[in-house]
Structure 1
């Protein structure tokens, strides 16, 4: 795809002014880095980073049966979730594969917001629309008119308080307690310059942080306001460091660790599927009937040195037999040694198992390790 065919976020001019290097991600022209992947990664771990995630989708479900419709459509039980809360869930195929992993927010008794991944927005909207048939609910794809900015890192709350709680901030309906008292997977709503603003304590980095949803017309102003308040404490961050951050945190990436050909249990996500707490839903029969005895499972791998395994690398046992494949890998900036996620045969999945990964034709000894690789203090 040539660059002029790529979609741009409302923050494209901001990224260009900051000297970003761009890449094609799911058909979007996205900043992959601004300066140094390592510096951006460390900024999030030590201070705070700001990300443009406006390529993600935003799908509203409104109506008296919105909760019931989502219980039918998703693997988790959404109808029992309290207002002001968020939940991670899966959108499954009929046979139990994963169409997408999503975050769902309950804005009101009859109003939910579902966030699909950028590469799956069309598929998620189609599935949610089809599965809402027969329920008293309206499905509204607001992706084109919504921007998403993330501020992640140990100083994120402090920066948000300074940026959004002053008299001249343009923010209304949001108190200091809304931010300081907000627990993980909770959110608060208010307005920014008269338009709706949603701030959630969610993220994809393994650090404390927030995600801010605002109308596209105000995205650049909000970014600049956050950047001004953050100063040297807040670093613009691209997709490259977001990937190493989520890998250290053991968070799956759709297309790598999740796909239509993989069942939740293979990825260690059996508990995400609400088999015990709700009745029939799309994918239930596929999950219950699946024979996973011969299927690979997701594990973490660690190694010594500086060479890192990459996606697609073959994993072998001590006898040289192929037992799996790496899905994500990198030299961990925080830990200083190579880490990876891989699908391997169940017989090779026990923590401590010694294996070998092919890294550009050379053997790299690895050891199966529990995830996450990194957990914030």
Structure 2
């Protein structure tokens, strides 16, 4: 069995299949375009690390302008904090007493690194449980009130419903009101720009109504955070958002490629690929060795990169290719995943290639530190 480290310095042709590969040049261009956009628009950038689950990439994002990262799970925060990611926001509700003890432990760890932990809540009881866990632990937690701006998931109703939660936060010295969490995930994938604009216009109206209710009650709103890779230019132009949580921009995927481009947003490139190999060829189709254990299919099947072929689901370990001209036995086929986030969670490592997929060399082995971090 060869070691992954043996691949360093070798061409991409040496990578066994199936494997998850990052085009480092494309990824870094995406990274810099997003950082430049945020800086030009006076926005803080806090990318969602649930996408890549990697401390290496989180640190790279922070080194190039991000103020920190978001995660969705306590265990993701633990995994990233344990290898030095110092500023983390759990943009999700945590109510289990056992998990809240873990949240407090991460907060202590981050404060020791000179950083901080923030977390979202959407109920007074959630605030009380968080305060109880933090009491006497000599930590300070920044708390964001999540409002439901159209996702139909977590969050209080827009408007005055946030006021009693902020009042509850103010009762507990261990907690500080950080602002509002306002993210509409489904809007990111609305195909037309007009539909996305309409959805985010309602989001902005909801945020303004909530902010006005809080200010009328005497509570300033320090920050509104949210947005994603499909709409962030709209939130940035709103005048109410101060922080962007886009994550998929770093890699992109087939699903996002289906969106009508917003000219106000930078053009991002595909940087995440599944390398596969043709293992069987017949008169009607070819078969590659990458099925849905290699890439997520919740947002659709992968696209075939650079070849006029359609990919069909062949099961756990196989993909079926059809087209006018089929590849030959043993050929390499690069696949663009339908959804980058859960695809990354299927792999222990990403193989970073510099110089292009065809002739580039393996430069980096990127550990997926929070793979399987679901609690």
Fold agreement, TM-score > 0.5? no
Higher strand share: 1
TM-score by length of 1: 0.29
Higher helix share: 2
TM-score by length of 2: 0.29
Indicate the structure whose relative CO is greater, using CA pairs within 8 Å and at least 6 residues apart. 2
